[in-house]
A and B are shown apart, each in its own frame.
Chain A
Amino acid sequence: MDAFLLGASEVLSLTTLAMMLAGAIAGIIAAAIPGFTVTMAIVLTLPLTFTMDALQGISVMLSVYVGGYTGGLISAALLGIPGTPSSVATTFDAFPMARKGEPGRALSLGVWASFFGTIISTIVLIIAAPPLAIFAVRLGPWEYFSLIVFALTIVASLVGNSLQRGLIAALIGLAISTVGADPIMGRPRFDMGWELLAAGLPFLVVLIGIFAISQLASEVEDADAIKRGEKLVDGEIEFKTWAVMREVLMRPVNLIRSSMVGVAIGALPGAGGSIANLVAYDQAKRASKTPEEFGKGTPDGVVASEAGNSATAGGGLIPLISLGIPGSAVDAILMASLMVHGISVGPRLIMDNADLVYGMFLAMAVSSLMMLVVCVLSMRAFLRVAEVPKWVVVPVVLVCCVVGSFALNNRVTDLYLLAAVGLLGYALKALDYPLAPLVLGVILGPIAETNLRRALMTEPDWSLFLTRPVSLVFLVAAVLSVAWAIRGILKSRNEARSGKEPI
């Protein structure tokens, strides 16, 4: 109790709260700009925390982290461009909702879902950190590969108009992920002798190119509308804070399920928000009584994606606090920040620095509250973005994408890739290929290949994928998931056929 009060007194001090507020605002703004990620915002914050106390520094970084997970929602809902990889699924329903004239509701749903997602993940973090962490680190490459096979079955939910083109897009994504040095031996692959391809295709550049550039290009398709000064989104700018809060709370099953998916995926080292939002969306769609509404602006889609990605913030802290293993790049930076202050991160962290750990739990909850307050107070200003004419938004956001892609690795060649991938993305979109499976393929490809090869290097026995219980559970889940998707497709085909008969 003493340790909790000690931690609380530091987190709730006026200076720390003021700094956390600044951090939350910075995180929201950074993630709202396409091309700038939560990781970049945290890296830029790290040097500023060196002069602070350990708990104060980590609290500020957690506020940037939590703010960043929500900020990605802004460009996802208003521009149709995921501000961060963790808001890819948010674009599926928040953007159509905004286009239908409800941009305020789309943002408000996302903000509340993020808030509740973070709170639920913090509660799980406090209760279940040690057992979950031990489970997560016991998973070997067999279980990871089977998990990725299961995650790949999400493609069935993201295929859009054609299952065939959805699968092709997913395989193109996997193929893109194989360009560059091979993940086990470092052997160059498919680089054609170009320096440009030798390092592989950076995931974020592909994401920005595929989603942002192609979306921006689509916005200028109607030359007459652009010349008339058409806005990005026409509609109600009202945020409807309390009504939407009730709307989110009326979906408790979706909210809790998506948050738990986020926590579980966040706790797995190497996974993270970029996968969690897609898995949570997929699960919500499968469980829904009206799956056909997904992708057209249903609130359930926004709630699932945002609760899922925000919950990974708490989930990622589970292996970090319990075992000293960072689950993602952001967690590694948080760990580095603790080490700068002379705190050794590992299983003894909670015993030796209980006040710090309790302080971190509290900082997570306070950060999410701050994010909520900042969003509620400032969202009207963000919503003004929707009122800016397209001829302003498109060129300016293009420049932000270019700057963001360059700042990732300080490489000019990434800009050439960005333009090329953007053109490819637009061509695929024009030809009616769904883009989300492609991005999923790029995310999951390296994890699948690494774990498949690592598993067979450890023990060249394929049967282990079926004899290890957790691996088998994931594989069975994958088979059931495919069967469920096929059933859904056949059902909708039969319905379409029977609907046509009277005509």
Chain B
Amino acid sequence: MSQIDSRSTQQESGEIARLLSYIALLAVSLGLFLEARAMPRSRFEVLGAGAFPMLVHGCLSLLLVASIIASIRKIPVGAYGVFASAIVTWAREKRLVLFLFLCLAIYVMSMPVIGYPIATLLFLLALQITLAPKTRTAIATAVVLSLIFSYGLNWLFAEVFNVFLPRGR
């Protein structure tokens, strides 16, 4: 019974998250619709640069409004109270996904500064060692792979394909 309850709480929280996504998308879509409307028309064509985006954002906004109404009708009033705790539980369950995106963000931001080989070496080491089982073989494999895909790949691209990956400042 408690399993059924937790599943329905999860579904309701998921629906609230979707409702929030509809609202966020609607705000962006309406903003872009207005920006497209303000685009000047060319005298050389019937449709200007803003016509197609207006069509797209107009349809998107209508669809989102319909989705918001349907979603609000679907969500029971009591579900909003448990939404915050459901979000915390979800974030705890998906901690490795959040860590992966954090690593990826730091990796791509640091690449122009420290260069591809060092950034990749650190990224691979950090991610593999976090994800891998804590055994000596796994750690050794992680170190070897990190070296191959950082310095090795950099060498391959520069020497064989004449493509130079970011070198850093």
Contacts and interface: CB of A to CB of B under 8 A. Distances in A.
Nearest to B132: A391
A184 interface: yes
Contact of B97 (A168, A189, A391, A426): A426
A282 to B, nearest CB: 21
A4 interface: no
A460 B43 CA distance: 13
Given A175-B29, A392-B128, A426-B97, A164 B66 contact: yes
A402 B70 CA distance: 39
Contact of B60 (A168, A189, A223, A460): A168
B70 to A, nearest CB: 7
A418 B164 CA distance: 19
Contact of A220 (B45, B59, B131, B164): B131
Contacts of A203: none
B73 interface: no
Interface in B152-169: 153, 157, 161, 163-166
Nearest to B17: A431
A164 B63 contact: yes
Given A172-B25, A175-B29, A452 B108 contact: no
A393 B18 CA distance: 31
A448 B127 CA distance: 41
A270 interface: no
A221 B96 contact: yes
Interface in B3-58: 14, 17-18, 21-22, 25, 29, 32, 35-36, 39, 42, 44-47, 49-53, 56-57
A453 to B, nearest CB: 5
A412 B111 contact: yes
Nearest to A186: B49
> What secondary structure prevails in chain A residues at the interface with B?
helix
Contact of B95 (A174, A223, A399, A460): A223
Interface in A216-239: 216-218, 220-221, 223, 226-229
A168 B56 contact: no
Interface in A412-456: 412, 415-416, 418-419, 422-423, 426-427, 431-432, 445, 448-449, 452-453, 456
A174 B56 contact: yes
A44 interface: yes
Interface in A377-422: 389-392, 394-396, 398-399, 402-403, 406-407, 410, 412, 415-416, 418-419, 422
A398 B60 contact: no
Contacts of A407: 157, 163, 165
A168 B67 contact: yes
Interface string A198-230: 000000000000000100111011010011110
Contacts of A221: 93-94, 96-97
A220 B99 CA distance: 10
B100 A220 contact: yes
A190 interface: yes
B82 interface: no
Interface in B47-97: 47, 49-53, 56-57, 59-60, 63-64, 66-67, 70, 93-97
Contacts of A187: 39, 49
Contacts of B93: 221
B165 A403 contact: yes
B45 A457 contact: yes
Interface residues of A, number: 60
B161 to A, nearest CB: 6
Interface centre among A218, A410, A431 (most CB of B within 10 A): A431
B145 A456 contact: no
A178 interface: yes
A44 B33 CA distance: 42
A167 interface: yes
A357 B77 CA distance: 70
A496 interface: no
B138 interface: yes
A473 interface: no
Nearest to B129: A391
Given A407-B163, A412-B111, A213 B145 contact: no
A171 interface: yes
B101 A426 contact: yes
A396 B149 contact: yes
Q: Which 5 A-B pairs have the closest CB atoms?
A: A391-B131, A182-B49, A171-B60, A415-B108, A395-B127
Interface of B: 14, 17-18, 21-22, 25, 29, 32, 35-36, 39, 42, 44-47, 49-53, 56-57, 59-60, 63-64, 66-67, 70, 93-97, 100-101, 104-105, 107-109, 111-112, 116, 120, 123-124, 127-128, 131-133, 138, 141-142, 145, 149-150, 153, 157, 161, 163-166
23 contacts: A164-B63, A164-B67, A168-B63, A168-B67, A171-B60, A172-B25, A175-B53, A184-B49, A185-B42, A189-B39, A216-B100, A221-B96, A221-B97, A391-B133, A392-B128, A395-B124, A399-B124, A403-B165, A407-B163, A412-B111, A452-B47, A453-B52, A457-B45
Given A189-B39, A189-B50, 15 more contacts: A178-B52, A182-B49, A190-B36, A216-B100, A392-B142, A398-B100, A399-B153, A402-B108, A403-B153, A410-B164, A416-B108, A431-B17, A432-B18, A449-B52, A457-B44
